[in-house]
Amino acid sequence: MTENKTNVPAQKRRSAKQVKFLAGGAVVVLIIAYLVFSSMQGATAAYLTVKEVKAASPTERLVRVSGTVIGDTIEWDAHNVVLRFELADDTGRLPVVYKGVRPDMLRDGATATAEGKMGPDGTFQATQILLKCPSKYEEKATEQATSR
């Protein structure tokens, strides 16, 4: 009978440790799941046409719009590091404002993708500008392939 009384506190200590371990593990799993979910939400951006972006109301949702840069609309303010230009596709034209370093390859006819949000004034507020590489590399590869 004395043996049962001495084992009871040891069993309680063991089960208390197991509960603490499981609770700690559950907290760690929940934190990791939250971090993965929140990072995925911020990284997703829908691709829209110029017409769809212009029709959308100003929102906090991040979107991407792709088009051709209209060269005579490019305005670079080096003092304030602000770039203004228009993107065009077969559905219309969209004024874009980007605060940051001017991309070297931004010129008339360049294919650009702007990521950002539509502003209340009808201007697309870009947070990132991605430019397609010039097709001169594709032309050289095609010439080499046909000459063989």
Identify the top-confidence range among 22-26, 37-41, 73-77: 73-77
Burial grade of 45 (CB within 10 A; 0-12, 13-18, 19 or more): middle
How far is C-alpha 21 from the chain's CA centre? 37
pLDDT at 120: 86
Q: What is the percent of the chain where pLDDT is above 70?
A: 78
pLDDT at 13 over 60: yes
Report whether 65 contacts 53 (CB < 8 A): yes
User: Structural domain boundaries of the chain?
Assistant: 1-44, 46-131
CATH of domain 46-131: 2.40.50.140
Measured at the alpha carbon of residue 35, what is the angle toward residues 33 and 37, in degrees to the nearest 5? 65
Q: In the predicted model, what is the mean pLDDT of residues 2-27?
A: 75
Report whether 147 contacts 132 (CB < 8 A): no
**Whose structure tokens read 């949000």?**
117
pTM for the predicted model, two decimal places: 0.62
